[in-house]
Structure 1
């Protein structure tokens, strides 16, 4: 068993670390305060190959592996969780399904601009009444000659307010239940009938837009169906397996930021005549945080390795996402506790990390659903 990273993996990790430290971290607090989409950072990440890391170069990507992707998301999210999730969705939820299930023509037309970072992609799945239960989906796609007519509203869509393209799930046959769900690729800027609805005012990841996407008799070309009609749920489940690795990596990145800042503070904060890092109570908190984050990262790397080697990784992806997000929430609470009153004030980044951490337990499948996925695999 070899735990060493390849030279290429080390290179992307170090590149992302430098970029995050020099370009992202200095503006993260402002982005959180203004809720501003980091368009310039996304463009720079595209130039670095980070918006389509595991996508072949012929379609605008960097042609790297999923272990590299995990390492990259961790470093970007450590500096800014909002920027990290925009990058993750672009890679995992838009580029992955198109690269995996799309036609050659779809990849050239719709994958290349997003994987290269010239455009932003999103994944339009969730609805107000269909979150953990996608079979309750009400958005429909009806074939009309050479077009599909889309009607419905999507909810809580990351980057939905700024995306140029989306992968959309819709019902094409109401009589078949979940077997009647299909996937489409939509050019949002050139689809009459599409509009952005409410953009949510959230607790955390404030620089990442979370929006309603409204389709009213929106007409898209017949050839924009991804894969076979009725294969949408199968595609969706595979896509979410990949997406959960990105969210797990985002969580570990947040946790790493918390640990780093808690360590720095504990070394300089003095009480009772000595730095608080010399008290066993603080040392135990730091030791637990470091151990749990390492365990979470190893779970992520195992799942990414399985994906790179073409092996099943549904259970391992769910484990990694669940554990990483649960642990990061605990780590964030301890980080605030170590900083005391300062941890509760916006003067320090710690309170932002705590706000950002919570969402990782919710999106890409709640951790309750993750436990069901794990149990289902165990009981096969």
Structure 2
């Protein structure tokens, strides 16, 4: 006889331009409270993966990299932090969860969940104003600060802040990514793992490209749009409908991952689909976004298009935005050059859904570039809360 379904408390949330299923660690079945096969099997079933139809009809996922996400939160084990945040990027058509990186967009929802679910001490929550939530990002061992608006002791979710890539306005949540670059000794090494601001990336069978390889927010490979045959104004259909193009991007990503020291052989890239990201940049020019909004050259500093989990992202990953802001602040990177080679502490870039502004201040210390923090504004909202059901024998 088949096992009956079980109920697990869960919250379905949008954060930035992503959405996912949020869990309190203590609410998970005991076998899934620690990392391992049981946890992965449970979360795969929650999302509805692997789905050979690519639709997530039998799960909570949305069949895109932006909507196939899970989050596990708990009271922080780190001093001076409120909540530990663990992110799992769920593959759509494979039985695989990538735990190698953060989701910057869903970070905007972490503070809200933590406040509403008793993970932040009551004496740190104002009745009105801004609650500062100190987040320990457990995937990458970094501190993130979320500034969450409060009204009458409750998280303020509605508002007039508009975010390109999100349909409706909401309350603004400012996010600070502290010391966003990788430290020596971390996975992949320093901010520039090769020691160069621009490398020559040789990809057999495809070509040799200039590339900026950076660990900031999330490991990211930046190439020039023109070098790979694009303008930088492309929307999703221009890339995602081209199987040959997607294959080329994945091959470039794999060779970039090896050069960054994230993997030792290109064959390992498939098991690290979430990181590194690959993005292409170009100087600013006007285009029409996916929503029909006109983006004018004068409103942006550069164009950026980025791929996530093998597909062009509909907007921009939050962690990749941190990488963009950081690279734009450092003279000589491809991002800085695409933005006009001008020194700046904030950059506005065009993506498929519109524009985004991110700030980062870079300084050179003992010959090495460092960034103390990157800042951007997002929004978040609870979509549904209650329980999610899965077959009791799925894990």
Structures share a fold, TM > 0.5? no
Which fold has the larger relative contact order, with Cα–Cα distance below 8 Å and residues 6 or more apart in sequence? 2
The structure that is strand-richer by fraction is: 2
The structure that is helix-richer by fraction is: 1
Per the normalisation by structure 2, the TM-score is 0.28
Per the normalisation by structure 1, the TM-score is 0.29
